[in-house]
Amino acid sequence: DAKTTQPNSMESNEEEPVHLPCNHSTISGTDYIHWYRQLPSQGPEYVIHGLTSNVNNRMASLAIAEDRKSSTLILHRATLRDAAVYYCILRDSTSGTYKYIFGTGTRLKVLA
């Protein structure tokens, strides 16, 4: 089962910031928090990942709660090309092997 929960959908106006939340209350101490996004008919694309500290890259920022039970992906200025399904995922090691289970993700709609 997915270890993360996200809202099914969100909307944003173009050029405005977007905050995409993710809850991962069962996260273990060594789990990185990964964010990917998927455009229609394409494979997921890496966005950002982090462990404890907030992270920034050219695509986005990742804010991680102090208790690590939630995180927020921040797109500073949404563009129409950012419309996608955003997935927050953790590495699952409960079965003894590492694997990545996707949850439902958040479908982001960007309004012009």
Partner 1 sequence: GAVVSQHPSWVICKSGTSVKIECRSLDFQATTMFWYRQFPKQSLMLMATSNEGSKATYEQGVEKDKFLINHASLTLSTLTVTSAHPEDSSFYICSARRIRGSNEKLFFGSGTQLSVL
- Contacting positions for partner 1 (CB under 8 A): 32, 34, 36, 38, 41-46, 49, 85, 87, 91, 95, 97-105
Identity of the residue, 58 or 112, whose beta carbon is nearer to partner 1 in the bound complex: 58
Q: Which is nearer to partner 1, 40 or 112 (CB)?
A: 40
Smallest distance from the beta carbon of 43 to partner 1, in angstroms? 4
Name the minimum Å distance from CB 16 to partner 1.
Answer: 26
Around Cβ 76, how many Cβ atoms within 10 Å?
A: 12
**CA-to-CA distance for 89 and 102, rounded, in angstroms?**
6
Q: Whole-number minimum distance, CB 8 to partner 1, in Å?
A: 11
Instruction: List b or e across 1-19, with b for residues whose CB sees 16 or more CB atoms inside 10 angstroms.
Output: ebbbebeeebebeeeeebe
